[in-house]
Chains A and B, each alone.
Chain A
Amino acid sequence: MNGVQRSIPETIRGIGRVQPYTEEFAPVPVAHSKGRTIRRHLPHTSKVMASVQEAVQQAGMKSGMTISFHHHLRNGDYLMKLVVETLADLGIRDITIAASSFSPCHDFLIEYIEKGTVTALESSGLRGKLGVYLTHHPEVLKKPVIIRSHGGRARAIEAGELHIDVAFLGVPTCDVRGNGTGRIGKSAFGSMGYAMVDAAYADTVIAITDNLVDTLPVPYSIPQSHVDYVVPVEAIGDPEGIASGAIRITKNPVQLVMARYAAAVIDEIGLLKDGFSMQMGSGGASLAVGAYIREKMVARHITGSFGVGGMTGIFVKMLEEGLFQTVYDAQTFDIPAIQSIASHANHVEMSASMYASPWNASPVVNDLDVVFLSATEVDVDFNVNVITDSNNICMGASGGHSDAAAGADVTVIMCPVIRGRLPMIRDHVQTVVTPGDSIDIIVTDRGIAVNPKRQDLLKLLQYSHLPIKTIEELQALAYTLVGKPEETPVSTDDNDIVAVVEYRDGSVIDTIRKPLV
Chain B
Amino acid sequence: MINNQYAKDRLRRTMMFVPGNSPKMINSADIYGADSLMFDVEDSIAITEKDTARHLVANALRSIPFQAETVVRINHPTQTPFGIDDLQVILPAKPNLIRMPKIEDVSEIELVAKEIEKAEKTYGWPEGTINIIGAIESVRGLYNIREMCHHPRMVAVALGAEDFIANIKTNRTKYGIELYFCREEILMAAREAGIQALDTVFSDVRDMEGFREEVTKSRDMGFDGKSCIHPKQVLAVHEVYTPETREIEKAVKILAAFEASLKDNKGVLNVDGKMIDKPIVVRAQRTIEQAKAAGIRVEEMEVSI
Contact = CB atoms under 8 A, between A and B. Distances in A.
Interface stretch (B25-33, B36-44, B106-114, B159-167): B25-33
Secondary structure call for the B interface: helix
Interface in A449-466: 463, 465-466
A505 B32 CA distance: 41
Nearest to A257: B31
Nearest to A464: B295
B27 to A, nearest CB: 6
Interface string A474-517: 00000011000000000000000000000000000000000000
B32 A418 contact: no
Interface residues of B, number: 16
B65 interface: yes
B31 A463 contact: no
A463 B28 contact: no
A16 interface: no
Contacts of B30: 446
B27 A445 contact: no
Contacts of B31: 254, 257, 445-446
Contacts of A445: 28, 31
A481 B64 contact: yes
Interface in B238-270: none
A55 to B, nearest CB: 51
B278 interface: no
B295 A465 contact: yes
Contacts, number: 30
Interface string A250-264: 000110110010000
B297 A257 contact: no
B222 interface: no
B28 A254 contact: yes
A481 B60 CA distance: 9
Given A253-B231, A253-B232, A257-B231, A465 B297 contact: yes
Contact of B32 (A257, A463, A466, A480): A257
A481 B32 contact: no
Interface in B210-238: 230-232, 235
Contacts of A446: 30-31
A4 to B, nearest CB: 30
Interface in B151-205: none
A271 to B, nearest CB: 19
B297 A481 contact: no
A254 B232 CA distance: 10
Contact of B27 (A256, A418, A466): A418
Given A257-B32, A463-B297, A465-B297, A481 B27 contact: yes
Contacts of A254: 28, 31
A422 B273 CA distance: 61
A418 B23 CA distance: 13
A140 B21 CA distance: 46
A74 B6 CA distance: 58
Nearest to B299: A463
Name the residue among B27, B31, B232 with the largest chain A CB count within 10 angstroms.
B31
Name the residue among A253, A256, A446 with the largest chain B CB count within 10 angstroms.
A253
A79 to B, nearest CB: 39
Nearest to B27: A481
A379 B181 CA distance: 56
A387 B234 CA distance: 35
Interface of B: 27-28, 30-32, 63-65, 230-232, 235, 295-297, 300
Given A445-B31, A466-B295, A481-B64, 12 more contacts: A253-B32, A253-B231, A254-B28, A256-B232, A257-B32, A260-B235, A418-B27, A445-B28, A446-B31, A463-B300, A480-B63, A480-B65
6 contacts: A254-B28, A418-B27, A445-B31, A463-B300, A465-B297, A466-B295
Task: Name the 7 nearest CB pairs between A and B, nearest first.
Answer: A465-B295, A253-B231, A445-B31, A257-B31, A254-B28, A446-B31, A480-B65
